[in-house]
Amino acid sequence: MNSPERSRSLFRFAAPHNFYPLAGRLAPWFATAALVLTVAGLWLGFFVAPTDATQGEVYRVIFIHVPAAWMSMFVYLVMAFWSAVGLVMNTRLSFIMSQALAPTGAMFCFVALWTGALWGKPTWGAYWVWDARLTSQLLLLFLYFGFIALTRAIEDPRRADRAGAIIALVGAVNVPIIYFSVQWWNTLHQGASVSLNKAPSMATTMLLGMLVMAIAAWMYTIAVVLWRARSMILERERHTEWVGAVLEREAQGGRA
């Protein structure tokens, strides 16, 4: 059995002083991938994908709207996952990851709402309708704000980590309930005034452009989160020798 050896090599990166240089090496690659994929996705979206038969050119907002909405939901789940790992395994890095994810998730959540509003105006005639999806997205943004505000308001990092983890998990349990309740409420109040569910038949190139943009959003998120986590690690580990060495190298203009 070589499993202890293997788990050791994998868990090695759960230690901040191993993770820090790894993140520094990986982040530029993810950022480059994000840039290349964004350019490719935009080219597919604007120059290859045909004009939509019913919506005209406005539908091209989809290439950021849908990836942003996916990311915002997925990032919250990943945040809750790292929070659970942190509470169960007591690893500091998990909490750092969940807190590094939150601002990017909130940003994508806002982007999904903003682009949804701008897409909604020409297609439904209003910037905002109290549709189930839009409303859930708005509540998700509030959940992000709550998490960020709570972790920032607590000065003791140990308490901030754990309190944030609890609220992330409580939120994750509530997200399906919120979605269900909002949908229920929506069918009672809105009736059939807005039918988002009638998915227009999408051309393959449209779908492809959307997927490429979604992967680009992934790469962007990973790069930004790794960079943000690096700063947080330095801050948290400032009493250790290895951070001292990193800082000395930075002070001499070297590369970490």
Partner 1 sequence: MLSTFLAVLRRDLLLAWRGRADVLVTLAFFVIVVCLFPFGVGAEPNQLRAIAPGVLWVAALLACLLSLHRLFAQDHADGTLEQLLLSSEPAALWVAAKVLAFWLSTGLPVVAVAPGLALLLDLEQGALPVLVLSLALGTPILGLLGAVGAALTLGLRGGGMLLALLVLPLFVPVLIFGAGAVEAEASGTGAAAHLLLLGGGLAGALALAPWACAAALRISTD
Partner 2 sequence: MQWESWSAFWNMGGAAYFVWGSYGVTFALMALELVLVLRRRKDTITRLLRWRRAVGKDSARGSAKEGGTPVPAMESET
Which positions lie near partner 2, rule CB under 8 A? 4, 7-8, 11-12, 14-17, 46-51, 56-58, 60-61, 64-65, 68, 89-92, 103-104, 107, 110-111, 114-115, 118-119, 121-122, 156-158, 220, 224, 227-228, 230-231, 234-244, 247, 250-251
Which residue, 56 or 200, is less far from partner 2 as judged by CB? 56
Q: Which long-range contacts (CB under 8 A, 24 or more apart) does 161-164 make?
A: 161/86, 161/92, 161/95, 161/99, 162/86, 162/87, 162/95, 164/83, 164/95, 164/98, 164/99
- Say if residue 41 is exposed, middle or buried (CB neighbours under 10 Å; 0-12, 13-18, 19+): buried
Element (H, E) at 242: helix 241-251
Q: Does 86 bind partner 1 (CB under 8 A)?
A: no
Asked whether position 177 contacts partner 1 by CB under 8 A, the answer is yes
Residue number, 123 or 181, with CB nearest to partner 2: 123
With beta carbons less than 8 A apart as the criterion, state whether 216 and 37 touch: yes
Instruction: Provide, rounded to whole angstroms, the least separation between the CB of residue 231 and partner 1.
Output: 24
Among the listed ranges 62-70, 182-190, 206-214, 244-252, the one in contact with partner 1 (CB under 8 A) is 182-190
How far apart CA 68 and CA 89 sit, in angstroms, is 31
- 132, exposed or middle or buried, with CB in 10 Å at 0-12, 13-18, 19+? buried
Q: How far is the CB of 76 from partner 1 (least distance, A)?
A: 12
Binding residues for partner 1, per CB under 8 A? 139, 142-143, 145-146, 149-150, 153-154, 158-159, 162-163, 166-167, 169-171, 173-174, 177-178, 180-182, 184-185, 188
